[in-house]
Amino acid sequence: MKLVLAICMILGTVGRFCQVDAVACNEDKSACLKTDFTTETCDKSKKCKCLAGYEPTLEGCIKKPNKPTVDLDGIHNDEALEGSNVNLTCNGEAASEYKWYKDRELDAKQTRPNAIFRMDKGNIIIECALVSRVESDKSGALTIKYLKKDSTATPKINFSPNKVAENKKYTATCTGYPWGFDANKNVIFKK
């Protein structure tokens, strides 16, 4: 048993041979000592299990990070022109590692809070997860819609100051346009 535990600690894994529970079932194998991290009842294998939101590790039950969100940059919308790159952020608690999923498959090259995805063909579904000793649940899925290069954009225009008056200077800011669309090179409106 000591050899198995030593191997588990070296590998840092939890699994069939490396199962760790924070508290063992009582001698009668019917109840657990309830803690902040474990349930009161034993499972079918007569072991105490971690509460919902906690995961078993070699040190016992550890709280999972809260579910993160995938966020756009605030300027672009959820559309991208063919051939463009989409920059996204995985927001949540501090984490030692980030996992990004494109179309439900892990993208092992993306391990930072910010990730770049290329729009080559069709819509893509993006999710992320945080890893801090244990992995969080995946974020909600964000679908980035694919647009052909010749697509037109319908951005949102904000004026500052809010009221536009004749012979007054104002600033128009364009937001909510697709990734790959260059608002600086395109005439949005003319007076």
Domains annotated on the chain, with CATH: 2-63 (no CATH), 65-191 (2.60.40.10)
What pLDDT score was predicted for residue 126?
Answer: 95
Phi, psi of 113 (to 5 degrees): -65, -25
Cα distance between residue 185 and residue 99, in whole Å: 35
Q: Whole-model pTM?
A: 0.65
What pLDDT score was predicted for residue 39?
Answer: 67
Whether 170 and 164 have beta carbons less than 8 Å apart is answered as: yes
pLDDT > 90? residue 103: yes
Local confidence band at 123 (pLDDT 50, 70, 90 cut-offs): very high
What pLDDT score was predicted for residue 13?
Answer: 43
